[in-house]
Structure 1
Amino acid sequence: MPFLADFVAFRGLEIHLDSIRRPPINRLFWLIGGVKGQWDNNKTNLTALQKHVSFFDRDKDGVIYLEETYQGFRALGFGVAVSSAASVVINGFLSPITNNGSIPAIFLPVLVANIQKGIHGSDTGAYDTEGRFDSEMFEEIFQKHAHTNPNALTSDELNEMLKANQQPNDFQGRVASRSEWEALFSLAKDDNGLLQKDILRSFYDGSLFYKLEGKRKSLK
């Protein structure tokens, strides 16, 4: 998730990303056995982190372009400015890390298959280094920080957790973690201002995103 609090200022990005389209050149790579041929179409084999980010892979081809990141944030209810800036920052950060050279870097593609390379520090550790879900680390979140309700986190408890997870000299990881968690809390807290354990679990495998998108569609 992005540095949401700062993105609203980037109003100049709205027009460009609202109308962006992925480059037609990617079809050439599919034909010559590029990324498409490397992507595992058997989604049961995906790691939790791959499932998490696959929500933003709107056409499910294994590559997330700026357009798709933008569409994903819009589907979750974020505004044009935030969604536009989030697309630039997220793809700008993850593309160089995950791209294996199959697609020109100028298009900022994020390869789902390599998404574990983008795991940052100062986080909960609920994803291991391969992007798999670590149930023990997940349970530890609530064992250490859920003081009010054993199966939920308040805003203050969330802040306590973020401070506890901070690693020395890891400014980027700290900012990324805080932005991700604050965005999640704003999206998924219940009417009592609590982030429920089952909701957080569904966040880690990405199923929460589809539920939130479906809920928004049903209200239209």
Structure 2
Amino acid sequence: MTLYYYKLRPLLAFEIILLIPLIYKTNTIFCAPSINKEEITQEKKLDYLNNTGSIITPSPSPFNENEDEGIGENVLIKHVSFFDRNKDGVIYPWETFQGFRAIGCDIMKSTVAGLVTNMALTRETRPGKFPSLLIPIEIKNIAKAKHGSDTGVYDTQGRFVPSKFENIFIKHAHTHANALTAEEVDEMLKENREPKDYNGWYSAYMEWKIFFELCKDKNGLLQRDTIRALYDGSLFERLERETQSKKHNQE
């Protein structure tokens, strides 16, 4: 379907199923007090401008880095709902397959994703139930399948944590204020590693690497808006539209 307490995370779950893509009700960005734009030199990197034109600097972090609670609804459910193709609240392997095909993955990757993702998430999302040979994923319990060593952008209830999202760029966007390079993604993954959480390391690595390869721009950058879109699932809808458009143009 691609963010942590499960044992084996699927190849393409970018915080994919969870491939954890996020975009939510927040533009909670804090502006530095009275900065004179004329005093800013090229050596003094600015993080970004918000839509009102206020200048935002990368340091110090405007957020409490220990903040772990998100806001609003369970956006993790929205994130994975793209793969619930018939909208019945349950994702079966063939729906995962269909979802990955819809966003442009080939048959082999989509097949692997359908099997591995569902095998990895079915137990945690169906607590107390007898295992099913159909390896379904119950969307309402998706937050129970979060793995460790991730960004923390989803809290334990599947809600979006604004400070964690902002810190991705404050800490790791060294080259471009609103985008990550491949090297910066690697840096982020290493920093997020929890001791001896090997499954979490693997899951986060696979999610971000595949996400990066699928969604980097022509300059090899993973843009801020793309990362936000991943977390709430709207990225998958965009990729589906782009895939359909490509097929239409080829006909």
Q: TM-score, normalised by structure 2?
A: 0.69
Indicate whether 1:49 and 2:76 are aligned.
yes
* Structure 1 counterpart of 2:11: 3
Higher relative contact order (CA 8 A, sep 6+): 2
* Structure 2 counterpart of 1:112: 139
In the alignment, structure 2 segments of 5+ residues that lack a partner are: 3-9, 13-71
CA contact (8 A) 2:97 2:111 kept: yes
**Which aligned runs of 4 or more in structure 1 are off by greater than 4 angstroms?**
100-104
* Structure 1 counterpart of 2:184: 157
In the alignment, structure 1 segments of 5+ residues that lack a partner are: 5-44
CA contact (8 A) 2:75 2:159 kept: yes
Equivalent residue letter for 1:77: G
Equivalent residue letter for 2:204: S
CA contact (8 A) 1:145 1:160 kept: yes
Q: Deviations over 1:95-127 (max 9, x none)?
A: 011014668511101000000001000100000
Identity of aligned residues (%): 52
Root-mean-square deviation (CA, aligned residues, Å) is 1.5
3-state SS of paired residue (1:106):
coil
Pairing partner for 1:72 from 99, 104, 119: 99
Indicate whether 1:132 and 2:159 are aligned.
yes
Residues 1:60 and 1:101: Cα distance change in structure 2 (over 3 Å): farther
Equivalent residue letter for 1:51: K
Pairing partner for 1:176 from 200, 203, 207: 203
CA distance in 1, matches of 2:11, 2:198: 13
3-state SS of paired residue (1:167):
coil
Equivalent residue letter for 2:141: N
Matched ranges for 1:25-104 at <5 A: 47-100=74-127
CA distance in 2, matches of 1:96, 1:186: 29
1:3 Cα deviation after fit? 2.5
- Count residues in correspondence: 180
Q: When you count helix as a share of all residues, which structure comes out higher?
A: 1
Greater Rg, structure 1 or structure 2?
2
1:219 Cα deviation after fit? 1.1
